[in-house]
Structure 1
């Protein structure tokens, strides 16, 4: 039955010529999706069963609705205490002050009192009880946001360079294109509306004992089984790769002519997730496949997604991302299949060089007589803690100045459309609430990121968000002593190898390998177009910064003029670095 459902998808003439000749055993998650009646499954009944958690099938299906079941791993002595992460998908990170206020209110009323900016320009809550899940998602939708497709085996939140340069038509066109692309990529199932957006009595009448829905017209892009795994899209520029295009399943590198977007170089097959116990998994950079005119970009993007839908691995989720299909087929064969689905030839990619990222931090003229200001938010966590009352400050800004907002791929906030008279007022609000401004934030802290990890992530091996700020404190001290305080390089930490904070193309990557121990990666770079390499493995947390300090010292003494840290490490290589960088005696 499962194989029949897969084979029943609408196919273009000749498309199935590369299909397997024998039936493969599908993963259990594929069976759950097939039997779910377009993402419904047992969720309706389990929402009202009185338990504080869902069963295995619902847990998988709920991801497509924007929520993960979690438990507090700091408090397992008396058994698991269940709660939910709820994530809003915010294309390009664009939202209003009213929407931000609504999200902040929710984190206080039903969450753990904090709100987190994600590395994909969304927002997420932690600590939502099952009894508050429907209310939470409903209220997010009341302010014209959504959690649909923020997680799950679909196109996730579409990223876009966020800076509001209103005097630059290219940025405006990219942001408008991102909005248009979203309308084509979101799931069409009515299950989301039925579960979360109508009153309880109506929901019970519609869902309890409801009939099976048939036909792919419900999901013309995804079909009844959706995609083999998650699919990530980013939109950027050669001069502004803040969205890390090379880390995306599908990266759209804008090509501009005469200050207008003429089309995109399409990069395919990026992805950083790695399963520690599976040598067959690996991080990969997206590869340039073709150039597409702007008018054809959505249709070619759909063709890429459909090829992954029909040929991606559905028997082993560890190797189900697009990068593995391209690795197995090779890029030329993959491109041929995309051309077949698209219905025409695709031009080779245009020459380009990635030169920079623009995190949008600090003060910038918008080009229309107004200003925008980018505020660094350490690891994206919006909270009031000790003398730093960021949540309180944001409430005041959103209520009094009420600017449009943009969330950045480095987990910062951009305040848009500010008048000259707003500049001093904004800074005063931050200072009064103890919030460090971007100008008061070190370069190493500004360009750092960490995933949430413990205590909420079920995949985490060790600390990340709770550990990185202390390490940054130490790195600031070491860099200042060496006269390197102004050096710009990226530091990214994750509590496991899955790579949610994109550690594998950064100057310094710190990846959790065991409890309290990390793999140190070096040699990537801020532009995002190069993977780093393993420098040292299984490094105790207390030794991470001392070992990096030796690298910093070598960098200071041997770098070439203008050479960035990642480029220096890449040029020297692992063996040379190990030979010249002293390992602290206590670490031996």
Structure 2
């Protein structure tokens, strides 16, 4: 437990925030700046927002003696990643009226809107509220968006874990009503008795906490990168319980060896949903009480587990639960990529998984994706599901409605784009990075598509173009694009410079290793050309690039 005399400044902000209200109301009324007060920049995260600025325009603004062009990113809370067609159509309109217009699908199965000016923040949230959508706890030192498999072939088990994701999300919501009186009602709805929060108290968590649920054999959620990883155990086509793992997290800090990426460790198994919810709750309370509150770089649950030891953490959880966890059950993952194209579920309903490069839903001249999706939503015959690989599933389509959806997909080039995209491109993930992320050291989603275009002919040269190699890029070492567990991972170090990591496995069960440091595009392409050539010559039968790279790295020591 952290010494109360050695708390980080963020801890003071949280405990003195009057239920996460702070001076946000006053900040929003201040028309002299596009920013909000410094302490409020911490508190607004708990409401699902970040203050950002357009980094491409900083020099221009400074030259004109103007403050930075501040704006806000709002992230929805969508456990399991689901919207109705009506909600998608409304989201389209909200994005057009209040943001840059780009709808961003995240690696945590939800939606972000960027470029929202301060005067548009409340109207944006109020419009979301009309569609029964909110951004509560989508950011901040709380449980974040709960992810679960979106693979339609897993139905009806998918529905079970989707509902479980919703229950966990509701269980972990902060009890404060500040979201509603700040953004919806414009009235102080404070009642300290109803705001008492046994889970978060007034301290909340030391850092963010992420939960994911997977159904083997598909690890499409990258379950082991979560603070709490839940793996459904299926017997005779039904879920008989869940393995529970804890301590995942991919963030690190350049030059700080005390920080590192880590995959979750198995704690045990529970055979009922009631026990699962209790175990998840108490894993969180142990982190609340034992997590590091003095150094935020060491505050994630993974560091708490490594401090207490996996046995020590399990023992504390079991003591609080009042029951012992059973030994973890056997399971096997066989893939983690999305299944593109048409799929039919057990009810005879159709699903179409379309490729959305880095989750960016927008219109460009040759590819009107956003307009096409609006037309599809306006039919009222589909639902929208998001994947942790930043893609979109048009779901629950009846047989009699399939032809209409299919025609709209073709008319707007959506199905054609999905079919033509290379295997490498379909297995790529990137974070937002520049121009809005304040932590970015290099490009992410704006550059990886360009780099992939230059890597594709190298793969073709070796006949490797159909290999489903996972390639991921983050603009800094915080890991939002999940590059540490890709077969090829890029971590930004400076503008146009990256660390190149290789050797992660294709299933998300092994982290990669840094191979080259602080290199630019020319050296990246030269290095990959050499590696692909060696891979073609020396690989075992059916050996993935990640497994080969891991083996190759052992020979280089």
Measured after TM superposition, the shift of residue 218 of structure 1 is 2.1
Which of 535, 539, 544 lines up with 1:564 in the alignment?
544
CA contact (8 A) 1:165 1:172 kept: no
Measured after TM superposition, the shift of residue 217 of structure 1 is 5.5
Instruction: State how 1:465-544 maps to structure 2 within 5 Å.
Output: 465-544=445-524
Q: Which residue of 1 aligns with 2:366?
A: 387
Q: Which residue of 1 aligns with 2:65?
A: none
Establish whether residue 419 from structure 1 lines up as the match of residue 401 from structure 2. Answer: no
CA contact (8 A) 1:216 1:224 kept: no
Q: Which residue of 1 aligns with 2:297?
A: 318
Larger deviation, residues 393-402 vs 281-290: 393-402
Establish whether residue 107 from structure 1 lines up as the match of residue 133 from structure 2. Answer: no
Q: Which residue of 1 aligns with 2:121?
A: 133
Give distance in 1, aligned partners of 2:495 and 2:353. 35
SS in 2 for 1:278: coil
Which of 226, 231, 235 lines up with 1:248 in the alignment?
226
Give distance in 2, aligned partners of 1:63 and 1:30. 14
Instruction: State how 1:444-459 maps to structure 2 within 5 Å.
Output: 444-459=424-439
CA contact (8 A) 1:112 1:128 kept: yes
Measured after TM superposition, the shift of residue 385 of structure 1 is 1.7
Give distance in 2, aligned partners of 1:215 and 1:290. 36
CA contact (8 A) 2:175 2:195 kept: no
SS in 1 for 2:372: helix
Give distance in 1, aligned partners of 2:502 and 2:393. 30
Give distance in 1, aligned partners of 2:455 and 2:279. 45
CA contact (8 A) 1:489 1:525 kept: no
Instruction: State how 1:244-393 maps to structure 2 within 5 Å.
Output: 244-295=222-273, 296-393=275-372
Q: Which residue of 2 aligns with 1:174?
A: 161
Measured after TM superposition, the shift of residue 422 of structure 1 is 4.2
Which of 533, 538, 542 lines up with 1:553 in the alignment?
533
Give distance in 2, aligned partners of 1:144 and 1:343. 37
Give distance in 2, aligned partners of 1:214 and 1:197. 19
Mark the runs of 5 or more structure 1 residues left unpaired by the alignment.
1-18, 579-588
Which of 385, 398, 423 lines up with 2:377 in the alignment?
398
Measured after TM superposition, the shift of residue 419 of structure 1 is 3.3
Give distance in 1, aligned partners of 2:213 and 2:124. 30
Give distance in 1, aligned partners of 2:479 and 2:385. 24
SS in 1 for 2:259: coil
SS in 2 for 1:456: coil
Q: Which runs of 4+ in 1 moved over 6 A?
A: none
Give distance in 2, aligned partners of 1:470 and 1:480. 16
Q: Which residue of 2 aligns with 1:433?
A: 412
Measured after TM superposition, the shift of residue 145 of structure 1 is 1.3
Give distance in 1, aligned partners of 2:409 and 2:235. 40
CA contact (8 A) 1:161 1:236 kept: yes
Give distance in 2, aligned partners of 1:418 and 1:467. 35
Establish whether residue 31 from structure 1 lines up as the match of residue 12 from structure 2. Answer: yes
CA contact (8 A) 2:152 2:343 kept: no
Q: Which residue of 2 aligns with 1:52?
A: 34
Measured after TM superposition, the shift of residue 348 of structure 1 is 1.9
RMSD (CA atoms): 1.7
Query: What's the TM-score, normalizing by structure 2?
Result: 0.95
Give distance in 2, aligned partners of 1:558 and 1:410. 30
Instruction: State how 1:192-211 maps to structure 2 within 5 Å.
Output: 192-198=179-185, 200=186, 203=187, 206=188
Establish whether residue 65 from structure 1 lines up as the match of residue 47 from structure 2. Answer: yes
Query: What's the TM-score, normalizing by structure 1?
Result: 0.90
Give distance in 1, aligned partners of 2:232 and 2:121. 39
Q: Which residue of 2 aligns with 1:218?
A: 196
Larger deviation, residues 62-71 vs 555-564: 555-564
Task: Give aligned pairs, total.
Answer: 548
Give distance in 2, aligned partners of 1:325 and 1:237. 27
Measured after TM superposition, the shift of residue 466 of structure 1 is 0.7
SS in 2 for 1:461: coil
Establish whether residue 235 from structure 1 lines up as the match of residue 213 from structure 2. Answer: yes
CA contact (8 A) 1:374 1:415 kept: yes
CA contact (8 A) 2:381 2:398 kept: no
Give distance in 1, aligned partners of 2:14 and 2:108. 25
Give distance in 1, aligned partners of 2:457 and 2:92. 34
The one-character-per-residue Cα deviations of 1:21-54 (angstroms, maximum 9, x if unpaired) are x544110000000000111011111111213110
CA contact (8 A) 1:401 1:422 kept: no
Establish whether residue 97 from structure 1 lines up as the match of residue 85 from structure 2. Answer: yes
Give distance in 1, aligned partners of 2:526 and 2:255. 29
CA contact (8 A) 2:175 2:194 kept: no
Measured after TM superposition, the shift of residue 158 of structure 1 is 0.2
Give distance in 1, aligned partners of 2:360 and 2:17. 35
CA contact (8 A) 1:494 1:511 kept: yes
Give distance in 1, aligned partners of 2:194 and 2:242. 30
Measured after TM superposition, the shift of residue 482 of structure 1 is 1.2
The one-character-per-residue Cα deviations of 1:505-526 (angstroms, maximum 9, x if unpaired) are 1111011011111111101122
Establish whether residue 186 from structure 1 lines up as the match of residue 173 from structure 2. Answer: yes
Give distance in 1, aligned partners of 2:305 and 2:222. 19
Measured after TM superposition, the shift of residue 430 of structure 1 is 3.1
